[in-house]
A = this chain, B = another copy of it.
Amino acid sequence: MAQGPTITTIAERAGVSIASVSRVLNGLPTRQETVRKVMAAAEELGYVRNAVARSLKSRRTHQVAFAMADVGNPAYLAMLREIQPVLKAAGYRLVLHSTGAVVADEIDVLHSLGERYVDGMIMVPLRVTEAHLQMLGAARAPVVVIGSVPEGTPVDNVRADSRTGVRLAVDHLHALGRRRIALVNGPTDTVPGAARGAAYREALAERGLPYDEELVEIGDFYRAEGARAVAALLNRVSDVDALMCANDLIALGALDVLRAAGKRVPEDVAVVGMDDTDLAAASWPSLTSVSLGSAERGRVAAELLLDRLQDGEHEPRVVTVPPRLVVRASTTPEPPAVRDVTQAAVRDVTHAVGPADTQSRSTEGTEGTEGGGTS
């Protein structure tokens, strides 16, 4: 409460100048006797450096911002979980911006960089508009963008590869003998929706499967919407043997409907989700899912930013993180028999989980996308 002690207070108490106090506190060469006096005074007074004054003078805040649409989104959360420790280890605090679905808010956040309350920023834009590019060009501090940004944009860039991701899934299903592979997508006017739709067509073509419009259903990236979409799909075509879902929630909705319709998963219909969220491991049957490497993208972004903060003037870097297919029960049949219940139970827990009261820290992967589009 009481006005905390400053270096002036210490200087008086120790009978030295504020310059000496500062030098001692910063470990600059000083006579032993002075060091002792200053340390003693600081100790007694319970002195703590004022970060604000320090930042003003040094032009370094030791803070970094992470801006995304919604902390509740597992993809962003996965990034955050990786970003946080990297920054912390480097002595940076993390300022969180959850902008919501409003694109204008992202521009605001970029603009606020001018306030210089952070040394740099990691941003996951919902969409990359003209305004974004303009602000990125004029940004007053280094920015790392997670999600693709056009060549030549003067920022470090970490990308996912949903194209390859979808291909991994389709190849997997194809290898399992599935030939009527449907796509349950989200809105195609979102970045991930569009990318996944296109990738699906390509992947089919590569495998020599025909593209059948009947097999594509558009819903939204929610469980209930996914369920509706799958119900509609099943009413229309009866011989579907695999569902490629554009995210895990849609896939959960698909499982709901398939179960209700009496179809066995994966025997009758195989299901693949996308983003490899915690939900994928929790569902029954557990969900095969494509990880677009959110966690790793977060880590890489943090590292790129730290590099940039140290060095500053190298060329912008672009890193693409490869996707990964995590195979679980929704595409491969259960192991024949169950010997030991304990063993069986633990079987498909692919994720390590953390401290009390809940799970935490899945070591790798989850959702991922360039953007996040909201209808």
Contact = CB atoms under 8 A, between A and B. Distances in A.
Interface of A: 1, 4, 46, 48-53, 55-56, 61, 63, 69-75, 77, 80-81, 84-85, 88, 93-98, 101, 111-112, 114-117, 138, 140, 186-187, 190, 192-193, 221-224, 227-228, 230-231, 234, 247-249, 252-253, 255-257, 259-261, 274-275, 277-279, 282-284, 338, 341-342, 344-347, 349, 353-362, 367-369, 371-374
Contact of A48 (B63, B111, B255, B341): B111
A358 B248 contact: yes
Given A52-B55, A224-B349, A341 B257 contact: yes
Contacts of A50: 115-116
Contact of A279 (B115, B279, B341): B279
A85 B97 CA distance: 10
Contacts of A374: 354-356
What 3 pairs across the A-B complex have the smallest Cβ distances? Answer: A48-B114, A227-B345, A72-B360
Contact of A70 (B88, B115, B355): B355
Nearest to A50: B116
Contacts of A277: 358-359
B4 A346 contact: no
Nearest to A262: B338
Contact of A345 (B52, B256, B354, B369): B256
A125 B249 CA distance: 32
Nearest to A278: B279
A358 B52 contact: no
Contacts of A4: 114, 116, 140
Given A56-B56, A71-B80, A359 B249 contact: yes
Contact of A71 (B84, B116, B248, B372): B84
A128 to B, nearest CB: 15
Nearest to A353: B222
A69 B361 CA distance: 12
Contacts of A98: 84-85, 88
A51 B96 contact: no
Copies of this protein in the assembly total 2
Contacts of A49: 115
A368 B111 CA distance: 37
A309 to B, nearest CB: 14
A73 B345 contact: no
A344 B84 CA distance: 40
Nearest to A235: B341
Contact of A247 (B274, B345, B357): B357
A282 to B, nearest CB: 4
Contacts of A115: 48-51
A259 B346 CA distance: 12
Given A52-B61, A260-B338, A355-B70, A346 B227 contact: yes
12 contacts: A4-B140, A51-B115, A52-B55, A63-B95, A69-B355, A70-B361, A72-B361, A101-B355, A190-B356, A259-B284, A274-B357, A275-B357
Contacts of A279: 278-279, 282, 359
Given A249-B359, A354-B72, A48 B117 contact: no
